Structure 1
Amino acid sequence: MAYNITSQCISCNLCLSVCPTGAVKVVDGQHWIDPELCTNCIGSVYSVPQCKAGCPTCDGCVKQPGDYWEGWFAKYNHVLAKLTNKQDYWERWFNCYSQKFSEQLQKRQQQVLEA
């Protein structure tokens, strides 16, 4: 199952540099992920998909559902969590990880630019 880049994308190009398979492409100024190349970072040294982890918006890159029901249940669980004010432990962990990773990546890019 590949990931999609949403309308929340701010075109920062961080996902281009962190994707280990080069699946993130820019066509006519729009970012997209080639589903033929996207492996969700499975089989790599990363434990989470790097496009999502490096995205500063946290919603610019989302998992594309494999079928109708998978998408339906994902949406249902997301809405239910908002209504009941609960957040999954791993979702909180991922949000924290991606934010800290993004901050470190931005610091590193600034250091490279200053050098």
Structure 2
Amino acid sequence: MAYKITSQCIACNLCRSVCPTGAIKVAEDGQHWIDSELCTNCVGSVYTVAQCKSGCPTCDGCVKVPSDYWEGWFANYNRVIAKLTKKQDYWERWFNCYSQKFSEQLQKHQGEILGV
């Protein structure tokens, strides 16, 4: 499995609705997880990117799990350097802004539904 659902997940269920194989499950405690037996990482389908990652409104709700130690080390290093030098790329900043606004809208909408 190349992706996992993290603690940043807001349980919006968007990943479940876009997963072409139905690999995203919900545990009894409400936590989402990816069934490695069903997950194909969207390889061999019409999609070019993993749908759980692309459909996630949070930045880190669904993340790629590095396949080896060095891949993970360099991914973490590049992320930290980008933050320290404030050189996040345009799309990363756009996604962060979009996901924050979407999360706020989703929480507001859920509050209206629940009557809070």
Q: Which runs of 5+ in 1 are unaligned?
A: 107-115
Which residue of 2 is the match for residue 69 of structure 1?
A: 70
1:10 aligns with 2:38: no
Quick check: 1:52–1:61 contact (8 Å CA) kept in 2?
yes
Which residue of 1 is the match for residue 109 of structure 2?
A: none
Q: Which runs of 5+ in 2 are unaligned?
A: 107-116
Instruction: Please list every run of at least 4 consecutive aligned residues from structure 1 whose deviation after the TM superposition is greater than 3 angstroms.
Output: 88-93
Q: Are the structure 2 counterparts of residues 91 and 42 from structure 1 closer, same or farther at C-alpha, using a change threshold of 3 Å?
A: farther
Residues 63-72 or 82-91, more deviating: 82-91
CA distance in 2, matches of 1:33, 1:39: 11
TM-score, structure 1 normalization: 0.72
Q: What RMSD over aligned residues (CA atoms) do the two structures have, in Å? A: 2.5
Amino acid at match of 1:26: V
Superposition deviation, residue 3 in structure 1:
0.5
Could you say what secondary structure the match of 2:26 adopts?
strand
Which residue of 2 is the match for residue 109 of structure 1?
A: none
Tell me how many residue pairs correspond in the alignment.
Answer: 100
Could you say what secondary structure the match of 2:32 adopts?
strand
Output one character per residue of 1:14-33: Cα deviation in whole Å (capped at 9) or x when no partner.
11110011111111211011
Superposition deviation, residue 91 in structure 1:
4.7
Superposition deviation, residue 61 in structure 1:
0.3
Superposition deviation, residue 92 in structure 1:
6.0
CA distance in 2, matches of 1:36, 1:76: 31
Alignment of 1:2-81 (within 5 A): 2-28=2-28, 29-81=30-82
CA distance in 1, matches of 2:3, 2:62: 6
Superposition deviation, residue 39 in structure 1:
2.0
